Amino acid sequence: MEVHVAAHHEAPTGFIRKYVFSMDHKVIGIQYLSLAMAAVTVGMILSVLMRLRLAWPTEKWPMLAHIFPEGFAGGPMTPEFYLAMLTMHGTIMVFFVLTTAPLSGFGNYFLPIQVGARDMAFPFMNMMSFWVTFVSFVVMLMALFAVGGAPIAGWTAYTPLSAVGVIGGPGLGTGQTLWIISIAIFCAGSLLTALNFLTTVLNLRARGMSLMRMPLTSWAWFTTAILALLAFPVLLAGGVLLLLDRVGGTSFFIPAGLVISDRHLTNSGGSPLLWQHLFWFFGHPEVYIAILPGMGVTSHILSTFSRKPVFAYKAMVGAIFAIGFISYVVWGHHMFMSGMSPYTSMAFSITTMAVGVPSAIKTFNWLATLWKGQIRFTCAMLFSLGFVSLFVTGGVTGMLLAQPALDIFLHDTYFVVAHFHIIMGVAAIFGIFAGMYYWFPKMFGRLMHEGWGKVHFWFTLVGVYSIFMPMHFLGIEGHPRRYAQLTEFKYLLHLQPLHVFISIAAFVTITAQVIFFFNFFWSLKKGKPAGPNPWESTSLEWSTPSPPPFDNFGPVEPVVHHGPYEYSVPGAAKDYIMQTDPAAEEVRP
């Protein structure tokens, strides 16, 4: 059956409408990915600066002092500048990389195609969401270079420090205000994205694309969009109140009797913990906003490259939803040390450990998907396997930290830094890399270089474990996080060589990312032509040319006849059956 249709908006011809203010979800996806690449570069530079300070606390860096005269006043980096780097590194990475790339970047490009839509439900709003996010990033960069310094209150902007203004320290004036404004704008952009994703999945699926035929990537983006839709408004509300505390003279978060630098504040009655509750009610789902798309990509890629259906597809869908749901009732585990009632912390501890159940379902299903598969070790596959490894490593420490008794000791130590970097930072980055190697040929029509990709993979895998595994030991020894220098404490002195090791590992790993960037830009021009389906995958994006035409599918309306993971079906002519393949018989019920 062929149904001829007209795309709901015509392909633009001018440069501005085509590439800048584009309403095409594919262009917008690439715009988001470019934004994330710019952001990750900034974020990595900030982490290099921090690692220099931590490994060689007294060393002077004349060249850096030349670039940041205030930050290196008196020789080594000032502790305040270190805090500013820490704050901006966390903020940029969490919002502009880990939220932007996996959800808004790949999701924008591939969600509509995977469900058989010609574009997002609201293309104009989609364009708006990118440019709003772009403005947010620009404002965040302004905070980085603000007069008086960048904010120092951490990516969590804990009150009252973030609320009291410039008397609290450098960077808490203009820098912190810009930070809050940037985050508020970011919330708006993310909400628009979430609306589009959800409506597209609910209303624009192609004929035959029932919900239970959607690829797990689409399920992951769908669930993530629900999380974003319900979590970002809470951060927005908190941000509005925080901004008013700073500029409107209110006391939502500033308690009475606060004395800072010999000045007695006139505020009264506010609750710093109220901010923590609002922030973490957003903040914990945010962690899953970063990681769920990686889970979806991993499921998709493991199945594709082991030439087997995803093991227990329905359980995988259920597990994604369970993780998403539970993520709303665990926020208190970030606040075990805030003096909450032991009964409350017990409840949060139990809900937190409950996340382990769907997580284990996913992990074992991934392993079962690999079991006896005909595994093809492509770069995408390697990064997905790396994702599974990191997910387990980072997840296990999550179970430890979920217990209040242990958390009292480990809280605010490097153990936590190790945990969240592995689970939400590096694992999510591995998901992004896996997606990039997998979808690059679809987006640009050429394959990335597999050899260089593998070099990149091994450097990165060994590198990130070398960086973050030793941090567990730092934490167990009681090394607090967030301090630029703790060399005055005897019990930490013997750990200094570990800091040197971590820093060197970090520099090597970051340098290895040059291989990726080189491979990326080289492959754009010189990569092998990919053809429509280089990986012999089944989902809808592989049924169209690479890159797909403006309306994704040309004149023919896609009709879906199969589930997403019909690999190695007995009796079938090939070892995969495209979702759109009408001729092949469906063997599985």
Amino acid making up residue 165: G
Say whether residue 272 binds other proteins (CB under 8 A).
no
- Which amino acid makes up residue 308? K
> Which member of 50, 185, 195, 290 binds other proteins (CB under 8 A)?
195
**Min CB(111)–other proteins separation in Å:** 13
Nearest to 508 by CA among 464, 474, 470: 464
Using CB under 8 A, pick the residue from 34, 156, 271, 496 that binds other proteins.
Answer: 271
239-258 positions binding other proteins, by CB under 8 A? 240-241, 244, 248-252, 256
- The least CB distance from residue 303 to other proteins, in Å, is 21
- Pick between residue 37 and residue 198 the one whose CB is nearest to other proteins: 198
531-560 mask for other proteins (x: CB under 8 A)? --------------------------xxx-
Q: Does 121 bind other proteins (CB under 8 A)?
A: yes
- Told to check if 326 binds other proteins by CB under 8 A, we report no
Q: Is 255 helix (H, G, I), strand (E, B) or coil?
A: coil
Q: What would the two tokens of residue 47 be?
A: 């982490």
- According to the binding rule CB under 8 A, does residue 233 interact with other proteins? yes
Q: Are strands 259-260 and 263-264 parallel, antiparallel or unpaired?
A: antiparallel
* CA–CA–CA angle 361, 457, 448 (5° rounding): 105
The answer to the question of residue 572 lying near other proteins (CB under 8 A) is: no
Element (H, E) at 260: strand 259-260
User: Of the candidates 430, 283, 285, 279, which has an alpha carbon nearest to the alpha carbon of residue 355?
Assistant: 285
Q: Can residue 205 be called a binding residue for other proteins (CB under 8 A)?
A: yes
Is 264 in a helix, a strand, or coil? strand
Three-class DSSP category at 169: coil
461-520: which residues touch other proteins (CB under 8 A)?
A: none
| Site stretch for other proteins (CB under 8 A), options 19-27, 92-100, 117-125, 164-172 | 117-125
Neighbours of 341 (CB within 10 A): 8
Distance, CA of 307 to CA of 151 (rounded, Å): 49
- Cβ atoms of 327 and 284 within 8 Å: the answer is yes
Query: Is residue 210 within the footprint of other proteins (CB under 8 A)?
Result: yes
Check binding of 6 to other proteins (CB under 8 A): yes
Stretch that binds other proteins, among 40-48, 172-180, 437-445, 580-588 (CB under 8 A): 580-588
Q: By CB under 8 A, is residue 281 in contact with other proteins?
A: yes
**Structure-token pair, residue 415:** 């153990």
Which CB atom, from 249 or from 451, has the smaller least distance to other proteins?
Answer: 249
Tell me which residues in 338-397 interact with other proteins (CB under 8 A): none
Which position has the token pair 């994205």? 193
Which one, 192 or 474, has the nearer CB to other proteins?
A: 192
374: three-class secondary structure by DSSP: coil
Give me the helices (H) in 450-565, please. 450-476, 490-493, 496-526
Name the β-bridge partners of 413.
Answer: 480
Nearer CB in complex with other proteins: 5/337: 5
CA 282, 284, 287: angle at the middle one, nearest 5? 110
Question: Is residue 147 near other proteins by the rule CB under 8 A?
Answer: no
By CB under 8 A, tell whether 26 contacts other proteins. Answer: no
Q: Which residues bind other proteins (CB under 8 A)?
A: 3-6, 8, 116-118, 121-122, 191, 194-196, 198-199, 202-210, 229-234, 236-238, 240-241, 244, 248-252, 256, 268-271, 274, 277-278, 281, 557-559, 561, 582, 585-587
